[in-house]
Structure 1
Amino acid sequence: MRRILNLVCFYCLLSVTSWGQGADTTVHVVTIFDKMAKQEAGKGVVTVHQSDAIRALVGAHKYGTNVEQEGEATYLKIQGYRAQVFSGNNQRKSKDEAFRKEKEIKELFPDVPTYVTYNAPFWKLRVGDFRSHEEAYQMMRMLMTAFPAYAKEMYIVKEEVKIPLN
């Protein structure tokens, strides 16, 4: 058992050091060491002794520098999908319309993240952080049902999204 554990540690260290040194080590990510040390009913406990540097490298290899911390939450930033609900370039109306639609969506779907952005000359409202096109499409269908007036301008966009890790 100890030999297998040493091989796992060696492999992790070897693959991480050859992968790169620029990893963000400020965020604690659950690693294989944490999972092995967790006691389950009727099973033994594995104690792993290694330096904090090795622990940081293992988590960094899995998530790279795409880990972001906002308050208590930790997110993984990946390429994913969102439902675009609104896009307008009328400088007088589009900003207000984007925020008005965001407020209406937040009232019905308070747990779904919304993003109002301005990329000259367009104001855009996008909804959700989804790993797959199918998840984004399902959300878009719910939005179309809830807001039929917005349905004709809704579509799915590929974008960097934030997936919660904890």
Structure 2
Amino acid sequence: MKYLLTLVFLLTASMASAQRNIVESLQTRTPGEGIVNIHQDAYITSLIGLRYVNNAATSGSGKTLKARGFRVQVYAGNNSRVARNEATAIANKVKREFPDMPVYTYFQPPRWLCRIGDFKSIEEAHVAMRKLKESGEFKEVAIVREQINIPIE
């Protein structure tokens, strides 16, 4: 009896570890429970666990993965219309000086922000920050930790 219980335990543990995602675990038939059938493309199942944002300007396929990373902040103002115009003006200036860097201008209460880049490491952000400082155009330059967009090809 002891060997039979050990065998059953090992089989259920191996079955649980073989299930890769929630779709497969939902479709597992268990005595005494209902039956769930999911009909969908295999591509949808492969996307489970990833966060995507549709942003056609970022990559050719239009999909990006969200991850923790760094950006360089070049402007932080208050919540007035003047601060919004200044953030937009600085964003345009960055786009002219550094056209290859993505620029993000948005309102994060209580202030308007202009941040640059999608850097996976702080070293990459530091290189970009030095370039911005060397241009002499930007005074308020700092590295901030933020959720970034990584293009998927």
TM range (shorter): 0.5 to 0.7
Instruction: Identify the residue that residue 150 of structure 1 maps to in structure 2.
Output: 138
Q: 1:83 to 1:100 in 2, by over 3 A?
A: same
Q: 1:111 deviation in Å?
A: 1.9
Q: Is the 8 A contact 2:74 2:138 kept in 1?
A: yes
The one of 6, 16, 23 equivalent to 2:20 is 16
Q: 1:15 deviation in Å?
A: 4.8
Instruction: Identify the residue that residue 67 of structure 1 maps to in structure 2.
Output: 52
Instruction: Identify the residue that residue 147 of structure 2 maps to in structure 1.
Output: 160
Supply the distance in 2 between the matched residues of 1:90 and 1:60 (Cα, whole angstroms).
Answer: 38
The answer to which structure has the higher helix fraction is 1
Supply the distance in 2 between the matched residues of 1:120 and 1:154 (Cα, whole angstroms).
Answer: 20
- Residue-pair matches, total: 118
Instruction: Identify the residue that residue 88 of structure 2 maps to in structure 1.
Output: 99
Q: 1:110 deviation in Å?
A: 1.2
Alignment of 1:42-53 (within 5 A): 52-53=41-42
Supply the distance in 1 between the matched residues of 2:102 and 2:150 (Cα, whole angstroms).
Answer: 11
RMSD: 2.4
SS of structure 1 residue aligned to 2:80: coil
Q: Is the 8 A contact 2:79 2:109 kept in 1?
A: no
Q: Give ranges in structure 1 of 5+ residues lacking alignment.
A: 1-12, 22-50
SS of structure 2 residue aligned to 1:150: coil
Q: 1:138 to 1:92 in 2, by over 3 A?
A: same
Q: Given the alignment of the two structures, is residue 129 of structure 1 paired with residue 133 of structure 2, yes or no?
A: no
Q: Deviations over 1:59-89 (max 9, x none)?
A: 336xx23122323322111011000000011
Supply the distance in 2 between the matched residues of 1:56 and 1:90 (Cα, whole angstroms).
Answer: 41
Q: 1:15 to 1:144 in 2, by over 3 A?
A: farther
Q: Given the alignment of the two structures, is residue 110 of structure 1 paired with residue 116 of structure 2, yes or no?
A: no
> If the length of structure 2 is used for normalisation, what is the TM-score?
0.67
Supply the distance in 2 between the matched residues of 1:90 and 1:66 (Cα, whole angstroms).
Answer: 30
Q: What is the letter of the counterpart of residue 51 of structure 2?
A: N
Supply the distance in 1 between the matched residues of 2:72 and 2:149 (Cα, whole angstroms).
Answer: 14
Q: What is the letter of the counterpart of residue 54 of structure 2?
A: Q
Q: Give ranges in structure 2 of 5+ residues lacking alignment.
A: 1-16, 24-39
SS of structure 1 residue aligned to 2:101: coil
